[in-house]
Structure 1
Amino acid sequence: MSHIFAHRGSSGTYPENTMLAFKKAEKTGCYGLEFDVHMTKDLEVVVIHDETVNRTTNGRGAVKDMTLEELKKLSIKSGWLRKEKIPSLDDVLEWAQGNEMIINIELKNDKVFYKGLEELVVQKVAKYQLEGRIIYSTFNHESVKILKKITTCEVAALYSRKGINPVLLAQSLNADAIHANYRVMTPQLMRDCQRHGIPVRLYTLNRPPLIQKWMNEGLSGVITDYPDLAQKFKDKKE
């Protein structure tokens, strides 16, 4: 069965990685939520995709150089009257206690190395007692190894370059799953993963023909900007 994950929330329709996008994703009935985290100057964890706030907010600067309080003062760029803010990981996890969605936390530490991010995120998940609903993922393969040592939650290795064998990647890192850009995955590679019991989730599947193709191949997870569309497609298919 292919599960639907909302990529940065319902980010095709609402401002990405905001509480609004997450709450709208929940209303679609999708299986899971995917979002990104970075560490702040004062060692807090915030939900934002980029290393800087430039693209998505009315501010400028690197997340690592700003405190949580400074980041909270910024507004997300959008056409909505209500000004969305950058959520902290605590904000999202506290909200998640009120639903049953699977939460995929992507640690964005492949371009900026945040020392101790893995431990901090795992501690926050434990604080809200959500360990049974968490998937960790990261492009930083050293972080995959760290996470495997400090948590019993599922840990997925992310990759987006062609020429990588996902089975060998998962085995070399002791990863539980593979999350890959759909452009670098082939049906044969996915079947190889399936034979070795390695779940594969692909991003970012937004068009029905792609969703159908990979669902037909037995994809474990569809990571999409349009969970409402993907969920309706999945319901019709079943």
Structure 2
Amino acid sequence: MNIKKIILSIPVGLYCLTAFGQQSSATLPKCKNGFVVVAHRGSHLVKPENTVAAIEDAIRLGADYVEIDLRTTKDGHLMLSHNETVDGRTNGKGLVSEMTWEEISKLSVNSTDGQMYKIPTFKEALKACKGKINIYLDFKDADAAQAYQEIAEQGMEKSILVYLNKAGQYEAWRKTAPQMPLMGRLPENVHTREELKAFLSTTSLKAVDKASGAVLLAALKTEGVSVFLDAQSKDENPVKWKALMHEDVQGLQTDHPEALIGYLNQNGWRNGLKPQNP
């Protein structure tokens, strides 16, 4: 998710405080490593993004989460796609929301290794991840109740972190599954612990992907909110990783999971011991 389009800045109101009062019971999925590595769209520089193969390679590399993007077909099937269309990614063209699953299932995903790849359903992605890796679910365009039903059918309620992308998704998830951990972006006007507490009183998040300044980072840690920063880019490198790593940052989302994990292991930071920025 190179650009997050939603900023969770609209208070959900007193009604939500009452109706969704159980949200504080949400907890993040457990990780065996102290510093979290999120493989952006899977190991997509090795295998095509948002495919089972990309998920499996992220697992092989030892990532803690695989980030995948969820959308809905014309006939109501949940499947993986970052973009609104299949253009460029496959040998077909069209909006995901205007195509049936049968049409999409016949497409071939573009690749550079000569292998055949298909767009997976959400159920196929869940099965590939179960017991092996957590899911950072970029909730692009889908129904919370339907998604949660498929998650529950696989018994993976404790393995998913949902990233909110649109207005209304917070309320939908809190109504459907109050215990599900949610992630989003803080409003631009939140800088202090007092401002953070006021925001969290109406919009309870367990993780955010952007936070600047030692004061806000420390406040997030005190309030039990993890910070998983977006590092993904073509020119990721140790200098850029180190610039993002602060004592109150818990993880990075990356396009280069193998290199990042190697860098963390080399410096003894995989268990959460990280350098502090000047």
Query: Shared fold by TM > 0.5?
Result: yes
- Deviation at 1:215? 2.8
Give the partner amino acid of 2:45: G
**1:89 and 1:10, CA in 2 relative to 1: closer, same or farther beyond 3 A?**
same
- Deviation at 1:69? 1.2
Alignment of 1:170-185 (within 5 A): 170-180=200-210, 185=212
Is 1:204–2:231 an aligned residue pair? yes
| Secondary structure of residue in 1 paired with 2:209 | strand
Distance 2:149 2:36 in 1: 27
- Deviation at 1:147? 0.9
Per-residue CA shift, 1:80-108, capped at 9, x if unaligned? 211211111011111222x3311111110
What's 1:130 paired with?
156
**1:214 and 1:2, CA in 2 relative to 1: closer, same or farther beyond 3 A?**
farther
Distance 2:156 2:80 in 1: 17
| Secondary structure of residue in 2 paired with 1:172 | coil
Distance 1:38 1:120 in 2: 12
Per-residue CA shift, 1:196-220, capped at 9, x if unaligned? 2211111134332232233333312
Given that residues 85 and 94 in structure 2 are in contact (C-alpha distance below 8 angstroms), is that contact kept between their aligned partners in structure 1?
Answer: yes
What's 2:219 paired with?
192
Is 1:50–2:83 an aligned residue pair? yes
What's 1:144 paired with?
170
Distance 1:204 1:54 in 2: 26
Distance 2:150 2:230 in 1: 26
**1:204 and 1:170, CA in 2 relative to 1: closer, same or farther beyond 3 A?**
farther
Q: How many residues align?
A: 226
- Deviation at 1:139? 1.9
Distance 2:238 2:65 in 1: 19
Distance 2:205 2:253 in 1: 18
What's 2:119 paired with?
86
RMSD: 2.0
Give the partner amino acid of 1:126: A
Give the partner amino acid of 1:46: M
Alignment of 1:10-21 (within 5 A): 10-21=43-54
- Deviation at 1:187? 4.2
In the alignment, structure 1 segments of 5+ residues that lack a partner are none
Highest CA radius of gyration, 1 or 2?
A: 2
* TM-score normalised per structure 2: 0.75
What's 1:32 paired with?
65
Give the partner amino acid of 2:156: L
- Deviation at 1:170? 4.4
Alignment of 1:59-138 (within 5 A): 59-97=92-130, 99-109=131-141, 114=142, 117-138=143-164
* TM-score normalised per structure 1: 0.86
Distance 1:169 1:210 in 2: 30
**1:96 and 1:67, CA in 2 relative to 1: closer, same or farther beyond 3 A?**
same
Question: What percentage of aligned pairs have identical amino acids?
Answer: 25
| Secondary structure of residue in 2 paired with 1:25 | helix
- Deviation at 1:178? 1.1
| Secondary structure of residue in 2 paired with 1:34 | strand
**1:197 and 1:56, CA in 2 relative to 1: closer, same or farther beyond 3 A?**
same
Is 1:222–2:275 an aligned residue pair? no
In the alignment, structure 2 segments of 5+ residues that lack a partner are 1-33, 269-278
| Secondary structure of residue in 1 paired with 2:120 | coil
Given that residues 86 and 95 in structure 2 are in contact (C-alpha distance below 8 angstroms), is that contact kept between their aligned partners in structure 1?
Answer: yes
Moved more, 84-93 or 193-202: 193-202
Give the partner amino acid of 1:2: F
Given that residues 18 and 84 in structure 1 are in contact (C-alpha distance below 8 angstroms), is that contact kept between their aligned partners in structure 2?
Answer: yes
Per-residue CA shift, 1:46-95, capped at 9, x if unaligned? 01100111131111111001111111111112212112111110111112
**1:67 and 1:185, CA in 2 relative to 1: closer, same or farther beyond 3 A?**
farther
- Deviation at 1:228? 0.6
| Secondary structure of residue in 2 paired with 1:216 | coil
